Structure formats: C-alpha cells, structure tokens
Amino acid sequence: MMLHLRIKLKKKHPVCSELSNVLSTPILLQIRKIVFDKFNETNLRFTNDEIFEILKTQDIAKSLTIDDMKPFFDKLHQDRFLRPIAQNFTTQWFKLFGEVEKINCYSCNNEIHVGKLEERTCPSCKASI
C-alpha cells in the first residue's frame, strides 16, 4: 500500500528565505574569513557562538539568530572545511579538517579562504582554482 502525503507550503518567513540562498550568501564567505583569521590551527577548538558573535559585530547577521546559523555550519562541514566535535544545545564545537589557505580566485577576482582538504573550487563563483 502506498501512502501519498500532501505538504502545504506556507508563506516563507524572511529568515527562511534568507537561508534558502545559503550557497551563494556572503555569510559563508565571512565565516571562512573569520576562521582563517582567528582559528586557523587544526588542533584549535572553536564554537559557532564565537563566530556568530564576531558576525554580529560586523553587522553581517543582523536578522539572524544562533539557531539560524546551523545550515551555514552544515554546509561548511559538507564541504570538508570544518568538522563538528561536540554539541551542547545550540552550541557546537568545531575543529578544522586542515589548515585554511588564502587564495585569489582568477574568475571572480575575490580573495577566498579554502581548507586544504576541500575541493579546489571557489566558494563564491564555483570556478575551479
């Protein structure tokens, strides 16, 4: 017997629509830069809260809460940029898979930050590096 489910789509919440564009958002690029500047050691632990506090001082994530940041960190984990090592409620601790390098993308001419174990594609324009 096959069951068919219907899902009603509700009007999107402003934060949800902002998160739906997670792959092209400058927030991911800012998180990469913060990790490069402050936490670029493979033995160093850091939390999503620490990065979120830095983003808030830069007015990058004004409309977001710490709970809204999870998809960004999930994407960075999927890309093999960082790995989760522990979690306590909304706080997640991370370590890097490998050191982060600063590279200039020749396609979009942006300065990008890429982990050594990541695919060699620009996180901004998706071009090969």
According to DSSP, the β-strands at 82-88 and 46-47 are unpaired
Beta pairing class for 111-115 and 100-104 = antiparallel
| Res 8 pLDDT > 60 | no
What confidence tens digit (pLDDT) does each residue in 86-109 have? 999 889 999 999 999 999 999 999
Q: What is the pLDDT of residues 42-91, one digit of tens each?
A: 999 999 999 999 998 887 667 888 889 999 999 999 999 999 999 998 89
What is the C-alpha to C-alpha distance for residues 58 and 41, in angstroms, rounded to an integer?
Answer: 23
pLDDT at 89: 87
Mean pLDDT score, 5-32: 55
User: Do the Cβ atoms of 93 and 81 come closer than 8 Å?
Assistant: no
Rounded to two decimals, what is the model's pTM? 0.78
Task: Give the pair of three-digit tokens for residue 50.
Answer: 């620490």
Domains in the chain and their CATH numbers?
25-98 (1.10.10)
